[in-house]
Each structure stands twice: as structure tokens, then as C-alpha cells.
Amino acid sequence: MLKKQLLFSMPLLLCVILCACLHTGTDNPTIDTNDPSPDLDLPKGASSADIESSGDTPSTTKDMLGDSLSDDIDVKGDTSKTDADAETVNDNMISCNYEIDATVAKAYYDVVKRLLDEYGECKIIDIGWEDNAKKFTGLCVVRLIDFDGDGNYELYCVYQNHDRDDITYYQDIYAYSDEKGIFQVMSGFKVSNPATCPSPTVEFLYKEGKTCLVLTNEMTEGDYYTIENSRLVSLLNYVNNDDEGTVTLNGTLLLNYTEWDAALDEFTSGCETESFLLAFDINNDNLAVTQETIKYLKQLSGQ
């Protein structure tokens, strides 16, 4: 239970503080549940057909993340093979000490340019309905992340429009291979809102040489996504059935929260997490890394 609390304590604590500071008499917007499913103009070689189909995804996760959730996502059903003593690897996402080919850099930079044209550069602006509150907007996050631990970096991006009242963010993952060229692994997934008040959060779990993107919705349901064989894979999917006091884990109903705590402890044993908010308590380090990564891709691609 302690590990579970550690995983989510920071976003939840921040959100509690933020909610306590909200002014009375103002209407707080809710997280938009209508996914715009942005139709990005992908570079040559990118296609939704590049994402292999491997099974059904629980409909609850689709409801959480919007209609853009692909049916081609594999949900792992076995969480019993975790090595509790696995070495923690958190250098899958580093500054600009990357080693990527210029061809890959050009393909990724072409994606970045398209997103910049559509959403603009990352900026920090005021939130319209909350005094003294800030948020990232535009192309907010650009990172090179080795999700599957194979030594090849994927491109992770988060973007949002410039509406001062909107705090819904979307995220994409692109990969590159010699056979396929560039292709999209994740398209238009909503960024997590782990607490009951607005708290858009990017969170990563570093597990056994891989990086998991953690997506949660008010702690009621979520997934730990990574990439395997060029596909988006959920290593752990859960639905918290509050009314029944049970949790559904990878499609299997657990009769009580004790079993859920044990399963999550086993899954996260020996792991580290990294998270940051995109609104309210924002960190300028994210903006610096985004700008640095874009500059690196531009220089390496010769543009």
C-alpha cells in the first residue's frame, strides 16, 4: 500500500492544495470528454495500419481516453513475472545525450514542425478561470524516450490549444524503423487527470529497462503503456469499481482492495516514477527540455 501511495502522492497532494485555493463563485470547467481525434498530416510512411492489432481493450479505458483509443492495443494479462529485484533504469529519458541517426532525426523533426504549425510553440499562459494559475499551451512536451528499451528512441509529444479555459491535453508517440520508416504508435490520447480536481499530469514508470506511460482517470481506471514489437501494449489495466468495493485487473475481478494493493506492489516493485503537471503547479524544467530536444532534432537533421 505504501508504494501505491508513493506513486500517486505528489499529483494528489498538489491537487488537494489547488482545489482548496479555488475561489468560490467561479465555475471550474470539467475535463472535456469529447476527444477531437486530431487528424495529423503524417510524414511519408506513417499510417494507422502500421499499428498491429493484437486484441480487445476494455471499453472503460476507451471511455476514459476518448474515441481515439485504438482497438489495436494489446493488454497484457499476466503481471506475475515481475522481478522484485530488477535494476531500476531511468535513463530511458535523458536530456540530449541521445544517439540517433540523422535520418530518424529528420523524420521526427518533420513531425515536430507539423505540430508546431498546428498548435504553436510551447508557452506559459494564465488560466482564465483561476487567479494566479498558469498552464503550458501549444506544443507543450517534446521528448525522445526509449519506451521498449531496445536502444532506439521514440518521439513523445504533448500538445494543446491556446484556450485559456481549456486544460485538456493530448499526446502522441511516434517510432521509426528501417522497414516502415516513421509511424505513429499512439494518437490523440488524453493526458492523465489522476485526481478528482483538474490535474493534467504526465507520468512515467521505469520498469526493468522499459518506460511505461501511466494514464489514469481520477484514480478510478488506468493503464501502464509501453511499446513492444512496434505496438502499444498495456502491461497493467485496472478499473476501480467503487460501488462494489472491487477492482478489475487486466480483465480479472479482484474481490477486495487488499488483492489490488498486492498486485500493484508486485508490478511496481523496484521501479521509479517521474511526473510533472501541465497546469497550476508547473515546472519550467519541462519547457527547457522541450526546447532543447527540438533544437537537437533540428540541428541533427540539418535544417
Q: pLDDT tens digit string along 244-271? A: 888 999 999 987 888 888 998 999 999 9
Do 204 and 213 form a contact (C-beta atoms < 8 A)?
A: yes
pLDDT confidence band for 4 (50 / 70 / 90): very low
In this prediction the pTM is: 0.71
Average pLDDT (80-101) is: 47
Q: Which residue has the higher pLDDT, 148 or 20?
A: 148
Q: What percentage of the chain exceeds 70 in pLDDT?
A: 68
pLDDT at 300 over 80: yes
Distance CA 132, CA 21 (A): 11
Task: Give me the pLDDT at residue 97, please.
Answer: 63
26-63 residues labelled b (16+ CB within 10 A) or e (exposed): eeebebeeebeeeebebbeebeeebbeebeebbebbbe
Which of the four pLDDT bands, split at 50, 70 and 90, describes residue 219?
Answer: confident
Helix (H) or strand (E) holding 211: strand 210-217
Output Rg (C-alpha) for the chain, integer angstroms: 19
Predicted confidence band at 43 (pLDDT cuts at 50, 70, 90)? very low
| Predicted local distance difference test score (pLDDT) of residue 12 | 42
The span from the CA of 95 to the CA of 246, in Å, is 41
Phi, psi (rounded to 5 degrees) for 134: -120, 165
Band (169; pLDDT cuts 50, 70, 90): very high
Q: What is the mean pLDDT of the chain?
A: 74
In the chain, the N- to C-terminal Cα span, in Å, equals: 50
Task: List CB contacts of 208: < 8 A, sequence separation 6 or more.
Answer: 82, 83, 86, 87, 89, 149, 270
Whole-angstrom Cα distance, residue 256 to residue 240? 10
Position 96 scores a pLDDT of 56
Residue 277 near residue 199 (C-beta atoms within 8 A): yes
Q: What pLDDT does residue 242 have?
A: 78
Reply yes or no on whether the pLDDT at 54 is more than 80. no
On whether the CB atoms of residues 161 and 174 are closer than 8 A, the answer is: no
Return all residues near 225 (Cβ < 8 A) that are at least 6 apart.
Answer: 73, 186, 212, 213, 214, 215, 232, 233, 234, 235
Mean pLDDT of 288-297: 94
**What pLDDT is stored for residue 86 in this prediction?**
31
Q: Tens of pLDDT along 112-161?
A: 999 999 999 999 998 877 777 899 999 999 999 999 999 999 999 999 98
